[in-house]
Amino acid sequence: VPNPAYLNLHAAVCRIAHMSGAAGYLYLEDREIEKLKVLSRDGSSAKFLASRLKSVELRT
């Protein structure tokens, strides 16, 4: 069962993101990331991979 305190915090952060316009930016950023299908062999996409891994870490 999810902790009600965390759910309340999540709801508050979502409201702030929506009211500030940040939610729209995050939505567009996610769409751009979804367009990428592969990582480069030369390591130039390392920053991208690190940010996606951090995103997954924060969501769990």
Residue extents of the structural domains in the chain: 4-59
Average pLDDT, the chain: 84
Using 50, 70 and 90 to split pLDDT, how confident is the model at 3?
very high
pLDDT at 59 over 80: no
CA geometry: angle 45, 22, 44, nearest 5 deg: 5
Model pLDDT, residue 56: 65
- 6 versus 31: the higher-pLDDT residue is 6
Q: 21-47: per-residue pLDDT in tens?
A: 888 888 887 887 788 777 788 988 888
Task: Check residue 41 and report its DSSP letter.
Answer: T
Measure the CA angle with vertex 15, ends 9 and 21; round to 5°: 135
Residue type, 37: K
Contact status, residue 13 vs residue 23, Cβ threshold 8 Å: no
